[in-house]
Amino acid sequence: MADSIDRRRFLKQTALSGIGLGLAGGRWPTLYGPNVPSETVVVGVMGVHGRGQVLAETFARAEGAEVAYICDVDIRAIEQAIAAVSAPQQVEDATRPALQEKQPQGVKDVRRILDDADVDALVIAAPDHWHATATLWALQAGKHVYVEKPCGHNPREGELLVEAQQKYDQFVVQMGTQQRSSPESMQIIQAIHEGIIGRPYFARTWYANQRGPIGHGQQAPVPDWLDYDLWQGPAPRTPYRDNVIHYNWHWFWRWGTGEICNNATHELDVARWALGVDYPVRVTSAGGRYHYNDAREFYDTQVASFDFEGGKTITWEGRSCNGQSLEGRGRGTAIHGTEGTVIIDREGYVVYDMERREIWRRVRPTNVSGLDIRGGDELTDFHVANFLNAIRGTEAVRSPIDEGHKSVLLCHLGNIAQHTGHALTCDPATGHLLDDAEAMQGWSRDYEPGWEPKV
């Protein structure tokens, strides 16, 4: 096929490009090393029971950064994270950067961090219902923000963050979609934009897991290690139940945003990036709670579809309780074009021609930084490095909040379409719902009095 993509064309378009050069010699950029600016960025980390501890350790190992505060409503998590951040070197591996020597201070209330003028940035990995409020507070206090996805509990919160970023434009706000900082992803997205698979028009994204049941739970006394009132924060108050904290809050509307915001955010972000689209014109969703009879409110099975102007579509398939992989991957994104297909995941990518022949692949070397902690990987290293360098003014932030909001909005729209049971029509310029009073009920939420987010 004269017009078929082939290895020579691929090498010309990517390996010789600026992004490709960063990988060609096998030397990987990291947030550690002699070229890191000397100014120390002081951070506080909020929410350290899971992902937050990973981020705390990553910042603690970063040259030119210091974790000054560990914040959580669970005193056990505070103690564990402080020990993890300032523990002696445990692994005999010269490639693994040492943790910081200074022990951070533990606090329960994030406002203690924001009151400290010496803190430069807040890192947020608290439950979803806290993300927008903590980000707004941090910007108002004059701090940069690294906020995990999703950036808001509902579409309106995302809009508020975009407004706040415009108002406080001297501060960096990075959302934790770390694949935006993957050298492989940057390389292949550039190649897609340059025509490596012709005109891209359809992206298929997926996530499969084998989560177990969460039971039905019951009201119970609040454990002595937990400040439950502070954990609820902006959410309307409700009695403590024994099957919610720490992880299962994801599956309840009051605090969580479901699997689509929990994991599809990453894949939909890659798909939007590859197709070059912003807001959809039509959204549909099908699925339900099929696998277990438990207290879960969100869907364990969901297929959402997003149509965009210019003849482009993205789909997402989520299976929370059946881990059968697609394309040999538990999660990923397939970009289909007029001249071929690209499969992308966190490990790299594969390029196929129209005859389904593999013509090129790039797989990320494992354990480049030496990190060996749950959820910690080179992509987190790269994303944190970009955040720190964006604060110093040496790089553009790769996942700014206005782009993050667009990807998270797709997830929220998928949930709204599923909840209402009908297709949504959207304004392609803003993503706003058109003539749909029922769907607009999901655009925002009720808040605990006095906790309403404001710019």
- State the pLDDT at residue 100: 84
Which tokens is 227 given?
């400040």
Bridge pairing between strands 348-352 and 41-46 = unpaired
- Rounded-to-5 percentages of helix, strand, coil across the chain: 35, 20, 45
Query: Rounded CA gap, 421 and 218, in Å?
Result: 30
All domains in the chain, ordered by first residue: 41-177 (3.40.50.720), 180-366+400-440 (3.30.360.10)
pTM metric for this prediction:
0.91
Order of strands, edge to edge, in the sheet holding 65-71? 105-107, 65-71, 41-46, 121-124, 144-147, 173-175
**Cα end-to-end distance, the chain, whole Å:** 56
How many of the other CB atoms lie within 10 Å of CB of 80? 16
Question: In tens digits, what is the pLDDT along the chain, a chain of 455 residues?
Answer: 444 555 556 554 554 344 443 333 333 334 444 444 447 999 999 999 989 999 999 999 988 999 999 999 999 999 999 999 986 655 434 555 778 888 999 999 999 999 999 999 999 999 999 999 999 999 999 999 999 999 999 999 999 999 999 999 999 999 999 999 999 999 999 999 999 999 999 999 999 999 999 999 999 999 999 999 999 999 999 999 999 999 999 999 999 999 999 999 999 999 999 999 999 999 999 999 999 999 999 999 999 999 999 999 999 999 999 999 999 999 999 999 999 999 999 999 999 999 999 999 998 765 444 333 334 478 999 999 999 999 999 999 999 999 999 999 999 999 999 999 999 999 999 999 999 999 999 999 999 999 999 99
Backbone angle region of 125, left / alpha / beta, with phi > 0 → left and psi within -120 to 50 → alpha: alpha
- State the pLDDT at residue 453: 96
Residue corresponding to tokens 């340059």? 194
The helix-helix angle for 51-61 and 75-86 (nearest 10°) equals 30
107 forms beta bridges with 71
- The HSE-up count of residue 407 (CA atoms within 13 Å, CB side) is 32
Query: Rounded CA gap, 114 and 176, in Å?
Result: 20
Bridge pairing between strands 121-124 and 41-46 = parallel
- State the pLDDT at residue 423: 98
- State the pLDDT at residue 370: 38
Q: Of the candidates 370, 363, 396, which has an alpha carbon nearest to the alpha carbon of residue 184?
A: 363
Which stretch of DSSP H or E encloses residue 174?
strand 173-175
Distances (CA, A) of 149 to 109, 161, 348, 415: 21, 13, 21, 16
Query: Rounded CA gap, 285 and 264, in Å?
Result: 13
Residues shown for the chain: 455
- State the pLDDT at residue 215: 97
- State the pLDDT at residue 411: 98
DSSP letter string over 285-343?
EEEE--S--SS--S-SEEEEEEEETTTEEEEEEEESB----BTTBSEEEEEEETTEEEE
What are residue 385's phi and psi, to 5 degrees?
A: -60, -45
- State the pLDDT at residue 434: 98
- State the pLDDT at residue 4: 53
Q: Residues 91, 98: contact at Cβ < 8 Å? A: no
Residue ranges of alpha helices (H) inside 217-293 are: 228-232, 258-259, 265-275
- State the pLDDT at residue 246: 92
